[in-house]
Structure 1
Amino acid sequence: MSRLAWAGLVVVLAAVGTGVYWSYDGFDPETIRGATVVITGCSTGIGEEMAYQYARLGAKILITARRENRLKEVVAKAMSLGAQEAHYVAGDMGKAEDCERTIQTAKEKFGRLDYLVLNHDGSSVKNIHEFFGTKSWDEDPDMDFFVDYLNINVVGYVRLASLALPLLKESKGHLIVVNALNGRCPMYTAY
């Protein structure tokens, strides 16, 4: 076999090996069984579905959103899907006391925290889509909306992460941030 054929074979094998290495995610579903998870924004959409996926894997979950009636439904379904435990805290993540109550409840119910999934979004002043779809900022600078929006979507994320940090450090846990408002492709970041 010529040197060129050997070089070609080596390149092909290296490409295949690299492809296999990059495509292998190494995720073992058993690592989630019994893990403690807090997920925000769970009344609908991505947060609700994440609660169901963690439940199917046998996690202990604590979910939060503003609508208590929806949270009760999600908890019931999560239990039917296999969650070891499922609890909820109804609250607004733009309010310090609701953030504190959420992390305190996780500590009381589970004694530890393995995953904090920050997924909440929106404003309690008005519908976010209604706000961005009507007038430009120079036509209607709604500061009440802006301050409320920042409290929920920036300060709330930082506050929850800060409150959960001691528990996450202790368990060598994970902080997952989901935010898809300003992009065509949703952003998913895990630390």
Structure 2
Amino acid sequence: MLKEVVVVLSGMLLGYWLIEDFNPAELKGKRVFITGASTGIGEQLAYQFSKIGASVVITARRENKLKEVTEQCRKTGSREQVYDYVVADMTELDSIETVVEAAVQMLGDLDIIVLNHVFYLPLTFWTGSKQNLSSIKQVMTVNFESYIHLASYALPHLDKSNGRITIVNSICGKFAASLTASYSEAKFALDGFFSALRQELMTHNSGISITQCVLGYISK
């Protein structure tokens, strides 16, 4: 996993560098909220932000894992930074505003929100079965709708700080692939929504930037 995460981070940093002469020191002191950070990419991003000098609040469903990651962030960063977590289930859309406000209160405000959580489905052919159809709602709720809710509640805070929205997306949101119909529908939707939102923010001369990280295959 570490090797794959290093590749992802290198790609993210390269993208920032190509766009705006990225300097890691610019993240020192930033207030960062990361979703899906109890394991995998989100966990490693939390460590990297902490190491650079950012304050980090993370969220996921498993409190025991969040505690472990938060403690590791403390060891990675400095005493001046904030490290905390919010337990949340992204299927509960009505609670997302509370989740964002809790993170903002812990951080003192918000500079960067990283939307990374995902509901995984096994690779399978779409047969139109009842199981196929019943999976759509949960996939779209977690992998699409919750992203929109999180970004929307974060917008007023990011507007004040000229902040950033980072979406961890997938190559499956750019190119259709066999066995991924349910997964791809949400990823294509994310690309469409946030690409349109980026244009709207530019039209309004907003200081908020949007970055989509389009990842290929990541082994577990």
Distance in 1, matches of 2:55 and 2:145, equals 26
Distance in 1, matches of 2:74 and 2:94, equals 27
TM-score, length basis structure 1? 0.75
Q: Is the 8 A contact 1:94 1:155 kept in 2?
A: no
Find the counterpart in structure 2 of residue 145 from structure 1: 135
Q: Percent identity among equivalent residues?
A: 37
1:107-122 correspondence runs (5 A): 107-122=104-119
SS of aligned partner of 1:128: coil
Shift of 1:43: 1.2
What RMSD, in angstroms, separates the aligned Cα atoms of the two structures? 2.6
Distance in 1, matches of 2:108 and 2:69, equals 22
1:16-52 Cα offsets, whole Å, 9 max, x none, are xxxxxx8696222221111000000111111111001
Matched residue pairs, number?
Answer: 162
Find the counterpart in structure 1 of residue 121 from structure 2: 128
Structure 2 vs 1, CA of residues 164 and 88 (structure 1 numbering), >3 Å: closer, same or farther?
Answer: same
Structure 2 vs 1, CA of residues 190 and 24 (structure 1 numbering), >3 Å: closer, same or farther?
Answer: closer
1:53-132 correspondence runs (5 A): 53-82=48-77, 84-122=81-119, 128-129=121-122, 132=123
Structure 1 portions without partners, runs of 5+: 1-21
1:89-142 Cα offsets, whole Å, 9 max, x none, are 1111221244222211122112311000000100xxxx512xx33x53324443
Shift of 1:181: 7.0
Shift of 1:183: 6.4
Question: Of the two, which has the highest radius of gyration?
Answer: 1
Give the residue type in structure 1 aligned to 2:114: V
Structure 2 portions without partners, runs of 5+: 1-16, 176-190, 192-209, 213-220
Whether 1:190 aligns to 2:180 is no
